[in-house]
Amino acid sequence: MYYPPIHGVTTQRMQLVRVNHRLTKSILRMTSPLPNILLVDDDTELASMLLEFLELQALSVTAVDTGELALETLPHSEPDLIVLDVMLPGISGFDVLKKLRESHNTPVIMLTARGEETDRIHGLMHGADDYLSKPFSPLELAVRIKAVLKRAGPTTETRIADLNLGKLKLNLTRRELFINEEQVALTAAEMRVLEQLLRHPDEVMSRGKLTELALNRPIEAFDRSIDTLISKLRKKLAAEGIDKECIRGLRGHGYLLDSETLDS
């Protein structure tokens, strides 16, 4: 595997990483291809450590240290998931995410040093699938990566059938939404929230339950991630002539997808 240089990381250290992982990675490749991860972070020490750790977790990692390099790398690397730092030199992680979402639905986990709710909400509004506040455990990042990849890919459950309700048709294999036979663009996180609502029509789903099922993590104090995603879903449905109140909010209880409203 080719490891692109990371500024500030010594050749000796990178060579050691390659030697240590060569046998493990060769054995893994005999059974199945490794998920391809693009790591975008200008903290070279952190990037080097994460590269080494994630490869031990059966993940193939390419690391770059600027947003510009990340966008240049995308057409060639075709990553399965991107780990994207918010604070980057040049264009920010948010700008990279916005540009990425113009043409790609690749899952993205945002890294933020500040851990502020505004950062998390901003990232989710622009199509991030998950976020992690620095400092964090490399193991937690690996677990989150695998969870997001699992959610993004087809599973035994999702291969059973499409989900259809009223004018909505969700193709679970291709992860595409159609309204009146016209495709509607959704981010991966929006798709997973809508999928859970379609799997449980006319059933109140708590914000905590939606967070666990759609974002694959427990809800946190003052966590408005689901509310933000629901708001964006409502706007996209309304733009296609669907009554936005088909997703009803019940204060103190959660959200409900109203099949009667969808059929009207």
Tell me which of 39-43, 151-155, 232-236, 254-258 is least confident. 151-155
Q: Which residue has the tokens 């909010």?
A: 249
Say which range, 160-164, 207-211, 248-252, has the weakest mean pLDDT.
160-164
What residues contact residue 79 under an 8 Å CB cut-off, 6+ apart? 36, 37, 38, 62, 106
SS3 129: coil
pLDDT beyond 50 at 22: no
- Can you tell me the distance from the alpha carbon of 99 to that of 115, in angstroms, rounded to the nearest whole number? 23
Given a cut of 60, is residue 41 above it in pLDDT?
A: yes
Asked if residue 169 lies in contact with residue 178, where contact means CB atoms within 8 angstroms, the answer is: yes
Q: What is the pLDDT of residue 54?
A: 92
Tell me the residue type at 136. F
pLDDT tens across 87-141, in order? Answer: 999 999 999 999 988 878 889 999 987 656 777 777 777 788 998 988 899 999 9
Q: Please determine, for residue 26, whether its predicted confidence score (pLDDT) is greater than 80.
A: no
Is the confidence at residue 16, as pLDDT, over 50?
Answer: no
Exposure letters 166-204 (e unless 16+ CB within 10 A, then b): bbbbbebeebbbbbeeeebebbbbbbbbbbbbbbebeee
Say yes or no to pLDDT of 10 above 50. no
Instruction: Write down the pLDDT at residue 114.
Output: 64
Considering only CA atoms, which of 92, 90, 96, 95 is closest in space to residue 38? 96
Domains, the chain, in order of start with CATH, read: 11-152 (3.40.50.2300), 163-263 (1.10.10.10)
Decide: 99 and 79 in contact? Cβ < 8 Å. Answer: no
Helices (H), the chain: 11-31, 44-56, 67-77, 93-100, 117-125, 138-152, 188-199, 207-214, 225-239, 259-263
Q: Is the peptide bond before 135 cis (omega within 30 degrees of 0)?
A: yes
Residue with more model confidence, 137 or 19 = 137
More confident residue, 34 or 148: 148
Q: pLDDT per residue over 67-77, tens digit each?
A: 999 998 887 77
Tens-digit pLDDT profile for residues 180-231: 889 999 998 899 899 989 988 999 999 998 988 888 788 888 889 999 999 9
- For residue 155, report the phi and psi dihedrals to the nearest 5 degrees: -120, 175
- Would you state the structure tokens that stand for residue 28, as one six-digit string? 């893994």
Rounded Cα–Cα distance for residues 94 and 176 (Å): 24
